[in-house]
């Protein structure tokens, strides 16, 4: 599976990079929404996008709005992977924008994250 | 010839016609007596007439003569008749006059007789009156004799009335004791017509009578010199024996022990001053009038002193009250909290500066007014209604320390022990928000205490208001800080846990056995830390009121099964049987499924944690419109006192055995908040130390679909 992970926190990207590489997946990490959009425009060949919400330049929701405008990239399943647990509103907003799932990093072990991603990306 | 005769005849008849009415008139007028006379007169008249007539007929030849005769006769007779008539009338009137004179004479005689009698009678009366007058004169003389006595009494009465005005002056002078002394001694001095008057008050410490400055006609120096021991002086006697003492000859009286230059007088009278219970001093008059007799002055002096006693006592009481008022005022002013006291009718009887400021009221405007009529403060009315009404026992706060959780307009009853009474007579606590123009919102914690009379009825209320605006603000800041930090804590914790897990799972290469233990402990530690962070986050959201509940209808059996699945490994680890008494039919409830999972996970997790052997059982009960879920264990149980604080924030019961078991003490507090938000309840069904615990929570049941 080819995975794009967009997260501004190095601790997170490095951990998930290790985990997915261990699982045998191809993972690309990037720490900002706009840079990810640029990358996707050059290379749109990803099976799933793992997206954080709180990021400095362009947040996850803005990224999804931009991505939804691009017909060529719209098909890539997005899974929100965040630590934002403030309200159900965020989850609803993400799902409304087309996310497949809303996963809370701190509540899941890396194994569970991997399982969940395989499950949702396949849907 | 015949014509002349006819004419004459007619004339005669005409005259006759004129004369008839006169005759009848005469008849009518005549009395019974002379009717006969008139009749006779008439007969005569007609007789003459007929004679003349027949003569005329008979002597027709000599008609002229006859006629003249007849005429003469006729007129003559008429004249005679007329004369007779007048004579009769005159005679008759004369008779009548005579009669009247006789009657008058009689009555005159009678009158004179009567008057004579009257005179005699009056004379007698006069004699009596003269006698009486003599007596009256005697009486008058007596009265005049008494007058001097009366005058004396009158003077005394006037003096007494003068002394009574002292009472009315009391209040005016109460503030200045020396002025009052000068006033009283002057009034007494003037009324007693004496040179000097002095007021002594007893001094409890030195047991002396101390002369008071301001005493009538005494200089300051003289007062300084006047210290009298109670023992032997005449003032001492008056004081000790509570009686008026009179000294006729002051200079020679051994009892007069003051310096002779001060006591430069003929006689001295002194008497006690009482405050109603005790003798507090004496008033002493110095007089140069040699003729003054003891009996003359004593009675009056005693009366004067009684009035003076009242005046002095009153003034002392007023000063005491004033001091007390000042003290109370000072106390009220120095209280940092607002204070409001209302009477049984809800009228404000007391309000301090802080409360005035808090309510933006002026004391003058609100004192005595009913709180109901005060602008915009309905809440006070509500308080009044609450006091004396049945207690809502669900709002009883056992600890009284839930200030930050006070909800607006909700009353909490504060008590130390359980409430047996059904009516509110205990303190209540309530949160109140006040916003005024140009000001920020202020939040107060109100403490309302009933004032209970000896008979046990509520006669008023004391409301203390403590400004908790700052506490609220700092609580908000705390909540915000908590929410930010816990969010910021999650990411690194996730990294620690995730990486540790991966290492432990051997993803970074084989882990040496000796290393594994260290890593496992690190993992458990970080797990606990993360759980704490999660709990803190939940609580901060609960307290900020930001917790959201996505309500839906679902089968609670699914929740129970998923919880069992999650915790199976934990119970297996401890070799505890995790039993689910699964009902055959679906049990549909309404609530936030995730939150209910959290609640049940917490309850079952706790049960496993505190059970070392045996089993943990989950079961359900249906009760009316509720579904009750019960988690029962065979663990260490919870003591009675711990049960009370179980659902409180940060309550960690039974510290020692628990220390090995961990937990933030937030779990059950959160559970309670969740359950109550979902219109359910959570409680301890059963618990005994060493005999296990059964926890239960209810949720509203929905119809099976």
CATH number at residue A64: 3.40.50.2300
Chains A–B, number of C-beta pairs less than 8 Å apart:
60
Residue B655, pLDDT score = 42
Neighbours of B503 (CB within 10 A): 17
A24 and B CB contact within 8 Å: no
DSSP summary character for residue B85: H
Given a cut of 70, is residue A59 above it in pLDDT? Answer: yes
Provide the number of structural domains found in chain A: 1
pLDDT digits (tens, 9 = 90+) for B556-605: 999 999 899 888 888 888 889 989 999 988 889 998 888 899 899 989 98
CA B16 to chain CA centroid, Å, is 112
Q: Of the given ranges (B37-46, B83-92, B247-256), which has the lowest mean pLDDT?
A: B37-46
Rounded CA separation A17/B507 (Å): 12
Tell me the two tokens of residue B287. Answer: 């007089």
Residue B363, pLDDT score = 72
Residue B397, pLDDT score = 57
pLDDT digits (tens, 9 = 90+) for B45-64: 677 767 766 766 666 656 66
Q: Residue count of chain A, please give it.
A: 123
Edge-first strand order for the sheet with B693-700 is: B577-580, B615-623, B626-633, B693-700, B681-687
Q: Of the given ranges (A94-108, B102-116, B247-261, B650-664), which has the lowest mean pLDDT?
A: B650-664
Is the CB of B491 less than 8 angstroms away from the CB of A109?
no
* pLDDT bucket at B535, cuts 50 / 70 / 90: confident
Residue B429, pLDDT score = 66
Distance from CA of B351 to the nearest CA of A (A): 46
Of all residues in chain B, the percent with pLDDT exceeding 90 is 7
Q: Which residue has the higher pLDDT, A97 or B644?
A: A97
Q: Which of B112, B114, B89 is nearest to B34 (CA)?
A: B89
pLDDT digits (tens, 9 = 90+) for B611-621: 888 899 999 99
Is the CB of B498 less than 8 angstroms away from the CB of A85?
no
Rounded CA separation B497/B233 (Å): 101
Is the CB of A11 less than 8 angstroms away from the CB of B491?
yes
Using CA atoms, how far residue B129 sits from B118, B133, B137, B567, in Å, is 16, 6, 12, 133
* Span B522-527, average pLDDT: 88
Distance from CA of B357 to the nearest CA of A (A): 40
Residue A13, pLDDT score = 92
Give the one of B483, B487, B541 whose C-beta lies nearest to A83's C-beta. Answer: B487
Residues of A in contact with B484 (CB under 8 A): none
Given a cut of 70, is residue B167 above it in pLDDT? Answer: no
* Span B389-403, average pLDDT: 54
Domain that holds residue A67: 1-81
Whether B453 and B459 have beta carbons less than 8 Å apart is answered as yes
Give the one of A9, A12, A85 whose C-beta lies nearest to B537's C-beta. Answer: A85
Is the CB of B498 less than 8 angstroms away from the CB of A22?
no
0.95 cut: is pTM over it?
Answer: no
Residues of B in contact with A85 (CB under 8 A): 487, 490, 537
Dihedral sign (CA B384, B389, B392, B395): positive
Alpha-helical runs (H) found in B545-639 = 556-574, 593-609
pLDDT digits (tens, 9 = 90+) for B299-325: 888 888 888 888 888 888 888 888 888
* Span B82-102, average pLDDT: 82
Is the CB of B495 less than 8 angstroms away from the CB of A12?
yes
Best B479, B488, B491 residue to mutate vs chain A (most A CBs within 10 Å): B491
- What stretch of H or E contains B162? helix B63-173
Reported ipTM: the value is 0.90
Give the one of A16, A106, A111 whose C-beta lies nearest to B490's C-beta. Answer: A106
Nearest residue in chain A measured CA to CA from B505: A111
A71 and B CB contact within 8 Å: no
Distance from CA of A76 to the nearest CA of B (A): 26
Distance from CA of A26 to the nearest CA of B (A): 17
**Is A101 inside a domain boundary?**
no
Best B498, B530, B598 residue to mutate vs chain A (most A CBs within 10 Å): B498
* Span B202-215, average pLDDT: 84
Best A106, A109, A112, A113 residue to mutate vs chain B (most B CBs within 10 Å): A106
Nearest residue in chain B measured CA to CA from A11: B495
Best A19, A109, A117 residue to mutate vs chain B (most B CBs within 10 Å): A109
Q: Residue count of chain B, please give it.
A: 705
Residues of B in contact with A103 (CB under 8 A): none
Q: Which of B390, B386, B542 is nearest to B463 (CA)?
A: B386
Task: Write down the residue that tokens 């007693």 correspond to.
Answer: B192
**Is A41 inside a domain boundary?**
yes
Distance from CA of A106 to the nearest CA of B (A): 5
Given a cut of 50, is residue B418 above it in pLDDT? Answer: no
Beta strands in B31-73 (DSSP E): none
Residues of B in contact with A102 (CB under 8 A): none
A83 and B CB contact within 8 Å: yes
Residue B261, pLDDT score = 66
Q: Of the given ranges (B106-115, B224-233, B589-598), which has the lowest mean pLDDT?
A: B224-233
* pLDDT bucket at B658, cuts 50 / 70 / 90: very low
Q: Which residue has the higher pLDDT, B138 or B499?
A: B499
| Domains of chain B, each with CATH number or no CATH | 2-157 (no CATH), 174-330 (3.30.450.40), 338-465 (3.30.450.20), 474-544 (1.10.287), 552-700 (3.30.565.10)
A88 and B CB contact within 8 Å: yes
Residue B618, pLDDT score = 93
Residues of B in contact with A107 (CB under 8 A): 534
Rounded CA separation B414/B428 (Å): 6
Rounded CA separation B152/B37 (Å): 97
Is the CB of A105 less than 8 angstroms away from the CB of B493?
no
* Span B165-174, average pLDDT: 60
Distance from CA of B490 to the nearest CA of A (A): 6
* Span B507-528, average pLDDT: 88
Give the one of B507, B530, B548 whose C-beta lies nearest to A22's C-beta. Answer: B507
How does the average pLDDT of chain B come out, rounded?
A: 77
pLDDT digits (tens, 9 = 90+) for B128-143: 888 887 887 777 777 6
Distance from CA of A115 to the nearest CA of B (A): 14
**Is A66 inside a domain boundary?**
yes
Distance from CA of B507 to the nearest CA of A (A): 7
Residue B609, pLDDT score = 86
pLDDT digits (tens, 9 = 90+) for A13-53: 999 999 999 999 999 999 888 889 999 999 888 999 999 98
* pLDDT bucket at A65, cuts 50 / 70 / 90: very high
Whole-angstrom distance between the N-terminal and C-terminal Cα of chain A? 14
CA B307 to chain CA centroid, Å, is 32
pLDDT digits (tens, 9 = 90+) for B257-285: 666 666 777 888 899 998 888 888 899 88
**Is A94 inside a domain boundary?**
no
Is the CB of B502 less than 8 angstroms away from the CB of A15?
yes
Rounded CA separation B60/B67 (Å): 9
Given a cut of 80, is residue B401 above it in pLDDT? Answer: no
* pLDDT bucket at B660, cuts 50 / 70 / 90: very low
């Amino acid at each position: 599976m080819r995975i794009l992970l967009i997260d501004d926190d190095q601790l997170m990207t490095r951990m998930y990079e290790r985990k997915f590489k261990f699982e045998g997946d191809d993972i690309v990490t990037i720490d900002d929404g706009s840079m990810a959009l640029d990358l996707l425009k050059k290379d749109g060949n990803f099976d799933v996008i793992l997206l954080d919400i709180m990021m400095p330049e362009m947040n996850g929701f803005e990224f999804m709005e931009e991505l939804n405008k691009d017909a060529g990239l719209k098909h890539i399943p997005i899974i929100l992977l965040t630590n934002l647990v403030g309200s159900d509103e965020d989850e609803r907003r993400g799902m409304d924008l087309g996310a497949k799932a809303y996963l809370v990093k701190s509540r899941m072990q890396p194994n569970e994250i991997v399982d969940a991603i395989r499950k949702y990306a396949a849907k | 010839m015949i014509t002349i005769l006819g004419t004459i005849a007619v004339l005669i008849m005409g005259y006759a016609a004129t004369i008839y009415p006169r005759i009848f008139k005469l008849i009518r007028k005549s009395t019974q007596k002379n009717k006969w006379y008139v009749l006779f007169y008439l007969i005569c008249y007609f007789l003459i007439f007929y004679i003349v007539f027949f003569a005329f007929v008979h002597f027709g030849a000599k008609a002229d003569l006859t006629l003249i005769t007849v005429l003469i006769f006729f007129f003559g007779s008429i004249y005679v008749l007329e004369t007779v008539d007048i004579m009769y009338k005159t005679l008759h009137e004369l008779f009548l006059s005579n009669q009247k004179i006789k009657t008058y004479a009689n009555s005159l005689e009678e009158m004179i007789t009567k008057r004579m009698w009257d005179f005699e009678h009056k004379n007698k009366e006069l004699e009596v009156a003269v006698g009486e007058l003599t007596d009256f004169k005697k009486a008058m003389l007596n009265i005049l004799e008494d007058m001097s006595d009366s005058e004396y009494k009158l003077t005394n009465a006037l003096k007494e009335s003068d002394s009574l005005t002292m009472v009315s002056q009391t209040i005016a002078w109460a503030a200045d004791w020396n002025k009052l002394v000068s006033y009283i001694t002057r009034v007494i001095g003037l009324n007693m017509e004496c040179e000097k008057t002095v007021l002594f008050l007893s001094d409890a410490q030195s047991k002396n009578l101390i002369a008071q400055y301001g005493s009538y006609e005494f200089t300051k120096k003289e007062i300084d010199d006047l210290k009298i021991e109670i023992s032997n002086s005449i003032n001492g006697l008056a004081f000790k024996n509570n009686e008026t003492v009179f000294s006729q000859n002051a200079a020679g009286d051994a009892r007069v022990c003051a310096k002779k230059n001060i006591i430069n007088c003929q006689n001295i009278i002194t008497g006690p001053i009482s405050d109603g219970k005790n003798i507090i001093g004496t008033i002493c008059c110095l007089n140069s009038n040699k003729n003054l007799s003891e009996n003359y002055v004593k009675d009056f002096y005693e009366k004067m002193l009684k009035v003076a006693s009242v005046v002095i006592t009153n003034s002392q009481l007023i000063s005491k009250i004033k001091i007390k008022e000042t003290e109370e005022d000072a106390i009220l002013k120095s209280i940092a909290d607002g204070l409001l006291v209302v009477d049984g009718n809800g009228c404000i009887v007391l309000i301090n500066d802080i409360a005035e400021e808090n309510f933006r009221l002026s004391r003058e405007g609100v004192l005595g007014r009913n709180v109901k009529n005060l602008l915009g403060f309905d809440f006070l009315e509500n308080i009044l209604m609450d006091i004396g009404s049945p207690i809502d026992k669900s709002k009883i706060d056992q600890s009284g320390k839930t200030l930050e959780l006070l909800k607006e307009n909700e009353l909490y009853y504060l008590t130390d022990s359980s409430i047996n009474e059904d009516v509110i007579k205990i303190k209540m606590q309530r949160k109140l928000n006040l916003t005024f123009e140009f000001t920020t919102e202020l939040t107060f914690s109100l403490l309302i205490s009933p004032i209970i009379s000896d008979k046990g009825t509520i006669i008023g209320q004391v409301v203390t208001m403590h400004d908790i605006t700052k506490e609220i603000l700092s609580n908000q800041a705390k909540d915000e800080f908590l929410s930010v930090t816990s969010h910021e804590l999650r990411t690194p914790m996730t990294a620690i846990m995730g990486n540790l897990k991966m290492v432990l799972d051997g993803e970074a290469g084989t882990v040496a056995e000796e290393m594994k233990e260290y890593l496992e402990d690190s993992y458990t530690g970080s797990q606990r830390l993360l759980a704490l962070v999660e709990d803190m986050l939940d609580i901060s959201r609960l307290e900020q009121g930001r917790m959201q509940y996505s309500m839906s209808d679902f089968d609670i059996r699914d929740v129970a099964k998923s919880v069992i699945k999650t915790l199976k490994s934990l119970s297996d680890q401890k070799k505890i049987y995790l039993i689910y008494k699964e009902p055959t039919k679906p049990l549909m409830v309404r609530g936030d499924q995730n939150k209910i999972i959290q609640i049940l996970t917490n309850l079952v997790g706790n049960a496993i944690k505190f059970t070392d052997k045996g089993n943990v059982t989950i079961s359900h009960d249906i009760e009316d419109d509720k579904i009750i879920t019960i988690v029962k264990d065979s663990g260490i149980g919870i003591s009675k006192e711990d049960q009370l604080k179980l659902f409180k924030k940060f309550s960690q019961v039974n510290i020692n055995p628990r220390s090995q078991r961990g937990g933030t003490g937030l779990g059950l507090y959160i559970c309670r908040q969740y359950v109550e938000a979902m219109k359910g309840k959570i409680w301890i069904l059963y618990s005994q130390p060493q005999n296990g615990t059964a926890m239960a929570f209810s949720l509203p049941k929905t119809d099976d679909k």
